[in-house]
Amino acid sequence: MSITEFLEITLLNIRNSEEIMGRRKIEIKMVKDTNTRQVTFSKRRTGLFKKANELSILCGAEVAIVVFSPGNKPYSFGHPDVESVASKFLEQEPRPNMPSSSSSSCDVNMEKLNQQLNNVMEQLHEEEKKGGVYDKALNQRKKTKLEELQEMLDLAAELKFNVKSRLDDMEAVETMLMIKEKPMEFDENHVSKRKRKED
């Protein structure tokens, strides 16, 4: 037995001897308590969307998710967007493809943007904690924050749109110059697979 293993086991023994069992595993079945169910839904929906987002970026995959909460409220996630992916799937529309591929780096601006977001949120929470009194002035500030975020959202969407446009231009140029990276074609293999769903 290695020292590492010994320490691991020792640590485990110590922990098992402690009283607090704490967090535990749950059965995958309908959560009865309404409130708990709501909390679970909220957390897991966020987790699901996060995973979907990572999948789309890591693999350059198109993803669309639609969820109706226990309260029947709609939530959705889409990359590039729900509609396009959904229709592509529903119509099973075969399409020739043009180039477009992997990655590189320019995270700086991204981090800056996120930094700003964090700052805004921090300020919001800051004010929230401070105040016991939510007067108009505060409301106004919050409202301003909201508007700022809204603007950022719009700008993000706009940027995305611009990027997309350029991509199209580039593809056109590429085609024009007849630069073929890989003379590949694949329309035939459009096998649709279904995964289980269980009830």
Which positions lie near DNA, rule CB under 7 A? 15, 18, 20-26, 36, 38-44, 46-48, 50-51, 54, 69-71, 73, 125, 169, 172-173, 176, 193, 199
DSSP 8-state code for residue 75: E
Q: 3-state class of 192 per DSSP?
A: coil
Whether the Cβ atoms of residue 135 and residue 64 lie closer than 8 Å to each other: no
Residues 140-179 that bind a second copy (CB under 8 A): 142-171, 173-174, 177, 179
Please identify, using beta-carbon distances, which residue of 166 and 180 lies nearer to DNA.
166
Mark 12-51 with x for binding to a second copy (rule: CB under 8 A) and - for no binding. Answer: --xx----------x-xxxxx----x--xx--xxxxxxxx
Whether the Cβ atoms of residue 92 and residue 190 lie closer than 8 Å to each other: yes
Least CB distance to a second copy at residue 172 (A): 9
Least CB distance to DNA at residue 132 (A): 14
Residues 96-115 that bind a second copy (CB under 8 A): 97-107, 109-110, 112-114
User: How many residues at the interface with a second copy, by CB under 8 A?
Assistant: 142
User: Contacts by 123-128 with C-beta closer than 8 Å and gap 24+?
Assistant: none
In terms of residues, how long is the chain? 199
**Using CA of residue 175, residue 181, residue 183, residue 189, what is the dihedral sign?**
negative
Count other Cβ atoms within 10 Å, centred on residue 113.
Answer: 14
Least CB distance to a second copy at residue 23 (A): 16
Least CB distance to DNA at residue 35 (A): 8
Please compute, for residue 27, the number of CA atoms within 13 A of its CA located in the half-sphere on the CB side: 4
